[in-house]
Amino acid sequence: MNIKLLNKNISDIKSDVTVEFLTTNELAKNSNLEILNLAGFKAEQDSVCFLHEKAILVCGIDSKTNDDIRSASANMIKTLKKANYTSAKISIISEDSLQGLVEGIVLGAYEYNEYKSQIKEISLKKIFITSNSLDFDTLEENFNSALIVANATCFTRDIVNTTPQDLNPPSFAKLALKLAYENSLDCKILGESELENEKMESMLAVGRASIHDSKLIHLAYRPKNPKKIISLVGKGLTYDSGGLSLKPATSMVTMKMDKAGGCAVLGMIKAVSELKLDIEVHVFVGAVENMIGGDAYKPDDVLVSRSGTTIEVRNTDAEGRLVLADVLSYAQDTVKADYIFDFATLTGACMVALGSYTTGVMGNSKILKHDFLKAGKKSGELVATLPFNKHLKKLLKSEIADISNVASKPYGGAITAGMFLDNFIEDENKDKWLHFDIAGSAYTESPWDCNVHGGTGAGVRFMIHYLKSL
């Protein structure tokens, strides 16, 4: 689908359909009020009414904010895709709402059809977004930026949605190499022999029973004279069976999404490089498959992490933190970053605490957490903080090793997982690091807002908003 921004009056553009966004107050003054009343249209948020005889699609909104425009635009594009029109035109409501409009169209129109034997042909080919009353140069800059971020989010969704027989650690590494080539990034891949040399026993143990070698991916975007250096670390569990602490059968379905943290950081560096931000970004992904077999790591094992901290394994399904422990250690020794952010589908407990729409933010810096609450609000992604506390930290105590990989009590599981990772953050980096648990927000089986079934690309939009603010 081709989306164009035009510096024209909407009446001067030829298209099959005109899209109008109306609030309840505007509905009362609309020239088509009588027909809309007959159709029962009340301009409620996300409602639509197609006046086919007039070639007008009317969309209800509660307000003209980015969030309401994004959600309404997603419903609008789904409605247009069901019809047989080839083009549509939309007049920009305000400069501030352009981001929501573009993201709603691109993300709402997203489909993942890689495994469909027959793909339904969509008639809609062109969307014209128009304005001749606003500063067009600013509009064009904001339009291009929104399009890059939305496409990077869809790129992330594609990787999340790829099945485990097609995306395993080696093929994940090949995908990273392809991205590096296309976007002029530096790329380094560590195989199992290099991981052994780095003494990454914790990460290697998780992937030991898989037929696929574990990989550590390091991508770098290096502009001249960067204002900041950022390290982004992603959990890349291409499939998680739970290991010997085997998941129930129903819980294994959708576990292709356990790589969403690694996918998200790839989407972030893609967007950063295409936006040409003057920030140096390093991405580190621990690509591993957690399987069962005669060589699988076991509950009661004690692993020696790269940092030298010993870990008692009490549950092999708490594997993501074992991978991240080593990758965070490697990232800190490899790059002296101003900030370190890790993304992981780490705990079901985060969904219990915050619901399935919200990313959990954890760390030691109140300032950083506050900054990301603002970035989340501006981007339209939902984020909320979960607080560390000394009492939960005690639950990670091990009698035979330095730390246990799960808490001794089942409560506060998202926080104890974050506090486990905090043990592998060096003292000098404590206030430079945040952990993002995207277990709930990274994947959905019920469409909501601009998200369709499958991967959502969680994290990409709010991270780019944050990086641009630097």
| Residues forming the active site | 247, 321
3-state secondary structure string across the chain: CEEEEECCCHHHCCCCEEEEEECHHHHCCCCCHHHHHHCCCCCCCCCEEEEHHHCEEEEECCCCCHHHHHHHHHHHHHHHHHCCCCEEEEECCCHHHHHHHHHHHHHHHCCCCCCCCCCCCCCCCEEEEECCCCCHHHHHHHHHHHHHHHHHHHHHHHHHHCCCCCCCHHHHHHHHHHHHHHHCCEEEEECHHHHHHCCCHHHHHHCCCCCCCCEEEEEEECCCCCCCEEEEEEEEEEEECCCCCCCCHHHHCCHHHHHHHHHHHHHHHHHHHHHCCCCEEEEEEEEEEECCCCCCCCCCCEEECCCCCEEECCCCCCCHHHHHHHHHHHHHHHCCCCEEEEEECCCHHHHHHHCCCEEEEEECCHHHHHHHHHHHHHHCCEEEECCCCHHHHHHHCCCCCCEECCCCCCCCHHHHHHHHHHCCCCHHHHHHEEEEECCCCCEECCCECCECCEECCCCHHHHHHHHHHC
